[in-house]
Structure 1
Amino acid sequence: INVFHRASQNTFGPLTEIRNTFERIIADSPVPVGIVAGEDPILVEELLDDIVAMGFDFISLYGHFMPASLVERRDITTFFAVNSDYSLEEIRHLSQSFFGDILELSIIAPEHYGKRLSARDLAKYNYIATHAVAPTVVPTQKLVYPSDVKSLYRTGVSAVMVGAICYGRDPEKMRQVIKSFRSEIDRL
């Protein structure tokens, strides 16, 4: 909510505009449901109680958008996201800290979105994952194929968050791609 999603080129408005959609998703989903709650720590803080009351399982925010009060909340799981502006040293420190339950590795620079996943990317994920205390999640900011799951697993990351770069906007393609990723994960 209250955010522009660079990878999909979508803008999401305030919670009041899409609350009913979220409530249906949460009610119908057999898996945990999370939310990216925006880019303004003050507004995020104002919305936290509503987000928890709606039944979201987790909240994902870049560390620089995460209000300090969220660090101590235990009624929702937090994804502490880092981007390409964070140094590897800062990420290594954060990966060993208490600031989030899960570390989201959104470390690809925007000008490289959609390009093919490289061995260098895997090496960076490996460096962070081997130092991390918290589980690490890699969003597909680059073009990642289901056949890359084994290599990602070998880096030590805990999960892959498959997104728009991999499946576009077509719901049928989304289903097919996610099913293919699931199949590769099940082979591990």
Structure 2
Amino acid sequence: MNQLQTQLRNNPWTLLVSLPRNDVELARAALEGGAQGLKVHINVEHFASGTRFGSLEEERGTLTQIVALAREFGANVGIVPGSEGNFASPQDFVELAHIGIDYFDAYPADAPAWVFAQTDLDIMMAAFHGANLHEFSGFEALNMTLCEASILPHEEYGKALSALDLARYAHLVSHLEVPVIVPSQKKIEPRDIPALQKTGVKGLLIGAIVTGREVESLGRATRSFTGT
């Protein structure tokens, strides 16, 4: 069982930060703010942050530094390894594990079938808007160990978290055995956390919609959720 999976199963709540850029100072701000894990990217044009992330070859040095820093704080690092048509290779997964990446996170339509045969990285699949949850739960039989609840439509990005959103998250959790985390597709605030916890999700992944894209704003946002 890898680090994030252990955290989510054993801890009442976990705060993760998705970095708007693969940047050591952004990582430091998140970790000093109390984040228990980080998410980085390669091979991606990221919708929420409007940022391009390069290939493993381009990003390797920075990723190595981020993982080393996270280890100093006892935090995990996961990765989005690409999107459809521009996804990391099996050899990339071996290298990512060697660097110290804990898990990968991808939408099912972006992930090639071979990812369910590899054992280098834990498997997080992103449930998506309109997903058939009966079909999606089948990923558990294929060794999915984590789930990201990316289930809200793009037109709702950045709005306040609603009661309907809570029902959607609770419905997803009811279909799965693996731990579920919620990404900040909505502009989630610290006061929303008690209600989120009641849905059964195990953690929150804050990203650009909540953190902004700069060191100061990211650190401030992270601290607002951890009280540090």
Using the size of structure 2 for normalisation, the TM-score is 0.74
Number of residue pairs matched by the alignment: 183
1:161 partnered with 2:202: no
Q: 1:90: which partner in 2? A: 135
| Higher RCO (CA < 8 A, seq sep 6+) | 2
Q: 2:69: which partner in 1? A: 28
Contact 2:93–2:120 under 8 Å retained in 1 = no
Amino acid at match of 2:190: P
Q: 1:15: which partner in 2? A: 56
Amino acid at match of 1:25: I
Work out which of the residue numbers 71, 76, 82 in structure 1 matches 2:121: 76
Residues 36-45 or 120-129, more deviating: 36-45
Contact 2:87–2:110 under 8 Å retained in 1 = no
Partners in 2 of 1:75 and 1:170 — Cα distance?
32
Partners in 2 of 1:155 and 1:183 — Cα distance?
22
Work out which of the residue numbers 147, 155, 159 in structure 2 matches 1:111: 155
Work out which of the residue numbers 101, 121, 139 in structure 1 matches 2:165: 121
Partners in 2 of 1:114 and 1:94 — Cα distance?
30
Partners in 2 of 1:107 and 1:82 — Cα distance?
6
Amino acid at match of 2:67: I
Using the size of structure 1 for normalisation, the TM-score is 0.88
Q: 2:12: which partner in 1? A: none
Higher strand proportion (structure 1 or 2)? 2
Q: 1:6: which partner in 2? A: 47
Unaligned runs of 5+ in 1: none
Partners in 2 of 1:83 and 1:48 — Cα distance?
23
SS at match of 1:60: strand
Residues 27-36 or 60-69, more deviating: 60-69
Aligned-pair CA distance for 1:173 = 1.9
Q: Pick closer, same or farther for the CA change 1:94–1:152 going to 2, 3 Å.
A: farther
Work out which of the residue numbers 72, 84, 90 in structure 2 matches 1:40: 84
Amino acid at match of 1:134: V
- 1:128-181 CA distance string (max 9 Å, x none): 112210000110011100110111100000111011111211312211211121
Amino acid at match of 1:28: L
Contact 1:167–1:173 under 8 Å retained in 2 = yes
Identity among equivalent pairs (%): 34
Unaligned runs of 5+ in 2: 1-41
Contact 1:95–1:128 under 8 Å retained in 2 = no
Higher helix proportion (structure 1 or 2)? 1
Contact 1:34–1:56 under 8 Å retained in 2 = yes
Partners in 2 of 1:147 and 1:177 — Cα distance?
13
- 1:89-124 CA distance string (max 9 Å, x none): 434x34754341101111111111111111111100
